[in-house]
Amino acid sequence: MAGLVEKTYGDALFELILEESPAKLTEAKAELDAVDSIIKDIPELIKLSKTPTVSKEEKLGLIEEAFKGKLSEYVYNFLMVLTDAGRLDYFGKIAGYFKERCNDHLGIAEITVITCEPLTAKAKADLSAKMEKMLGKKIVMKEELDRSIIGGIVVKNGNTTLDGSVKAKLRALRTDIGSVIC
C-alpha cells in the first residue's frame, strides 16, 4: 500500500497529466522509470539531496544540469518540485505508485513470469491470452529465469503469486510426508 508522500505526489502528477494531456501518461511513465533507474545507479544523488550544507539552489541547479531538455516538461518540473521540497529520496516509490495508477487507468497488468528455461513464443502467447482473460486487462509480461525452480512456472502479478513450480510441489510433498510420518 502506498504511503502518504508517494500517494500525494503520485496522484498530483497523474491528475495533472490526465487533465492536461492524457496521451502523455505513457511517456511520463517511461520517463519516470528511466529517471528511477538513474537515481538507483547513482545513490550519491539522494545523499546529496539530503545534505544540509548544499543549498537548495545548488541542488536545483544540479537537477537542471542533469535533466533539463532531456525529459518532458511534466517529469522535469516534477523532479524540480521534489528536489525543492526535499522529497527526492521518495522518487522511486512515487514513480512506482504513478506507474500503478497509469496501468489501472490504461487497463494494463504487468506480470512477471519465472521459469527455468526461456518460454517459446507460443507459450508466451498462450500464457498472455490466459492471463488477459483471467485479469480482464492487457498483459505486459516480464520474463525471468531461475534454475532453482527446477521446472514449471511462477507468475507474479502485484501481490499475487501463482506458483506452479516443481520446487513448490516438492516442498508441499515434503510437508505432506512430514505430517504423515510424525
Cα–Cα distance measured from residue 129 to residue 88, given in angstroms and rounded to the nearest whole number: 39
- Cα(147)–Cα(131) distance, integer angstroms: 23
The one-digit pLDDT tens for each residue of the chain (182 residues) are 568 999 999 999 999 999 999 999 999 999 999 999 999 999 888 898 899 999 999 999 999 999 999 999 999 999 999 999 999 999 999 999 999 999 999 999 999 999 999 999 999 999 999 999 999 999 999 999 999 999 999 999 988 999 999 999 999 999 888 887 76
Residue found by looking up cell 521446472 in the block: 151
Cell 512477471 -> residue: 112
Give, in degrees to the nearest 5, the angle at Cα 68 between 89 and 9: 35
**Residue 47 class from Cβ within 10 Å (0-12 exposed, 13-18 middle, 19+ buried)?**
exposed
Enter the CATH code of domain 109-181. Answer: 3.40.30
Domain 4-104 part of CATH 1.20.58.1030: no
Domain boundaries, the chain: 4-104, 109-181
The CA distance from 156 to 166, in Å, is 16
Answer whether 4-104 and 109-181 agree in fold: no
